[in-house]
Structure 1
């Protein structure tokens, strides 16, 4: 039986597909390729289509022997979600409800959900715990929390078991150098700094230098994308073992500041990178770090590439070889 990976041609999805294939899993990918890349999943079974198309989804489940779903397909830009919340509710919530309906009809009862630590909003604790209040401060986080709530009720009504994984900043690239991070437009710090190292942008903006942090810049949790992919596999194995539905944080256990990231990119690349101070962005907390103690304890998950230099080195390896990103668009 196959594992269906929605959004599997995207950044985290493609790395999870690679992880599943390494574990000898049969994988089917559904992606509309709006954000994903064919080159990221070359050689895998890719079905191009949109989760908002109910007839398409029903056909996927009818024509394939699917055991479980790992669900990534979502819009992820916080700023855009504030400007266009209906776009985010339509893609992140309505499409997921279609997916859950198709699962129910096909009697598929296991789903690993790619959630976000943005469900917490302004953190009560540092690091953030799964028991902390969820009060999103933007539509993106709200849509992910809405799905988590729907999953809870679908479990009670239909017996669909889920594991929701909440994390912040996926980063780095596969050790092979064959797949990496290619967003358009790019909004993540590490690839933006690497773009500056490649001469694709004149400088990198540092939004705020007067936060209550060791060097005055924001501190964030960066987790290697392959470590994330492994966590999704372990979450799948947990559901296969008949465990109850659960929510887990995923994080590095410590944060890195904006200045630290820029300095490490300079070190890894050997390039000169101009950094410019800019005003704070509204709503940017000083520190966002998630505790992974629970998933480490219960699923024996251990990040293998938690060191910032290692994370950035893998990202640089891919970006240096693919300065213009994937060639499939």
Structure 2
């Protein structure tokens, strides 16, 4: 683990997709740690209420090179955190060209604008979907990357572009491969707000609050302890904290680029997650058991050794009931924001 006491020179950070779920938490983490931040978001899935007070918002597209150049100049941007993109796996199968355009082609344009603007550090929101269907119990960064859908490929292609760019230009990068992100800001300043979101904990919280009649459980015949899929859930605020620490590492080690898993290294089954929601809310969610979805693996759990050894990262919310409690608090607040009964 690296020395946490070393001094680094903070630079203004441009957060793409900063009005979205994970991006808005990254903005909070940066602001709480004393960084200057600007946001670019086209607001297709983001919300202005998710952006912290005093943070400049540029409404536009990350592929707009002139706009990115203007932001870099106006805000004196030294680093980019790139969250903007599309993330729904089944949709990527139905609309592959859209995903390659939105996630890969536009990322290429953003990276080019960052290089032209003299940005020195780039942090990329990647995904465990780059691993496809791994055959190992715990996934390391050396596990073969074999995506099984356009979403995973679109992210892996962007990782490769960043590797090649860092080799050719004075910009280092960090690709953080997320496992299952969940929860919300503990102070309920932001959270998962997308209507029709497919994340299990988001869906379960909606059901617990009467916004859905039931929760679908896809597959009960996996080779897991209760037959349902097992995933590694990471609290979104712990993930955001990892981004800030990764940026500090890039600044401290300008000749180094990184690829790291972001997870806790332990998994919970679908039924265990639903049982936790029942426990936290003291009510029972109706489960509707359905067939497996194509492409879903039985178990996907990270080996977080590299991030633990590389960064002084100490997760604060690595508890399933805590993650769900924060998600529920945000879901209640979101209903108030939207004027729901």
* Matched-pair contact (CA < 8 Å) for 2:193–2:334: no
How many residue pairs align between the two structures? 327
Distance change >3 Å, CA 288–CA 281, structure 1 → 2: same
SS in structure 1 of the partner of residue 289 of structure 2: strand
| 2:158 matches 1:147 | yes
1:158 offset after TM fit, Å? 1.0
Q: Please, which of 95, 114, 117 is the counterpart of residue 106 of structure 1?
A: 117
Query: What is the DSSP-based 3-state SS (H/G/I as helix, E as strand, rest coil) of the residue aligned with 2:148?
Result: coil
In 2, the alpha carbon distance for the partners of 1:101 and 1:153 equals 12
- SS of the residue corresponding to residue 232 of structure 1 reads helix
Contact persistence 1:15–1:229 (CA under 8 A): yes
1:59 maps to 2:70 = yes
Aligned counterpart for 2:227 among listed residues 213, 216, 222? 216
Cα distance, 1:325 vs structure 2: 6.2
Task: Give the Cα–Cα distance (whole angstroms) in 2 for the partners of residues 52 and 27 of structure 1.
Answer: 19
What corresponds to 2:101 in structure 1?
90
Equivalents in 2 of 1:213, 1:68: separation in Å? 42
**What is the distance in 2 between the residues matched to 1:202 and 1:151?**
43
How much does 1:34 deviate? 0.5
Partner of 1:275: 287
Give 1:321 deviation, angstroms.
2.2
Partner in structure 2 of residue 260 of structure 1: 272
TM-score between the two structures when normalised by the length of structure 1: 0.97
Residues 1:240 and 2:251 aligned together = yes
Residue 35 of structure 1 aligns with which residue? 45
Question: What SS does structure 2 have at the residue aligned with 1:15?
Answer: helix
Aligned partners of 2:198 and 2:165: how far apart in 1? 34
**Structure 1 residues 157 and 302: alpha-carbon distance in aligned structure 2, compared to 1, 3 A threshold:** same
Does residue 69 of structure 1 match 2:80? yes
- Tell me what 1:206 maps to: 217
2:30 aligned residue = 20
Matching residue within 301, 304, 320 for 1:289: 301
Over 3 Å counting, the alpha-carbon distance change for 1:173 and 1:132 in structure 2 is same
Q: List per-residue Cα deviations over 1:214-266 (Å, max 9, x = no partner).
A: 11110011000000000000100001102401100011110000001111101
Q: 1:185 Cα deviation (Å)?
A: 2.2
Summarize the alignment of residues 159-174 of structure 1 with structure 2, pairs less than 5 Å apart. Answer: 159-174=170-185
Report what 2:133 is aligned to: 122
Kindly indicate whether the alpha-carbon contact (under 8 Å) linking 1:120 and 1:135 is maintained by their aligned counterparts in 2: yes
Secondary structure in structure 2 of the residue aligned to 1:322? helix
Give the structure 1 partner of residue 18 of structure 2: 8
Contact 1:211 1:286 in 2 (8 A): yes
Cα separation, 1, equivalents of 2:196 and 2:288 = 20
Displacement of 1:323 in angstroms is 2.5
Shift of 1:283: 1.3
Is residue 229 of structure 1 aligned with residue 229 of structure 2? no
Asked if the contact 1:182–1:325 (Cα under 8 Å) also holds between the matched residues in 2, the reply is no
Does the Cα contact within 8 Å between 1:9 and 1:38 map onto a contact in 2?
yes
Q: Confirm or deny: 8 A CA contact 1:68 1:108 kept in the other structure.
A: yes
Q: Any conservation in 2 of the 1:136–1:142 contact (CA below 8 Å)?
A: yes
Q: Distance in 1 between matches of 2:120 and 2:195?
A: 34
**SS of equivalent to 1:115:** strand
Contact 1:6 1:29 (8 Å CA) reproduced: yes
SS in 1 for 2:177: strand
TM-score by length of 2: 0.93
Contact 2:15 2:38 in 1 (8 A): yes
Could you tell me how far apart the structure 1 residues matched to 2:70 and 2:43 are? Answer: 18
SS at match of 1:166: strand
Give RMSD over aligned pairs: 1.3
Q: Are 1:50 and 2:61 matched, yes or no?
A: yes
Q: What SS class does the counterpart of residue 335 from structure 2 fall into?
A: coil
- The SS at the match of 1:66 is coil
Structure 1 pair 92/325, CA: closer, same or farther in 2 (3 Å)? farther
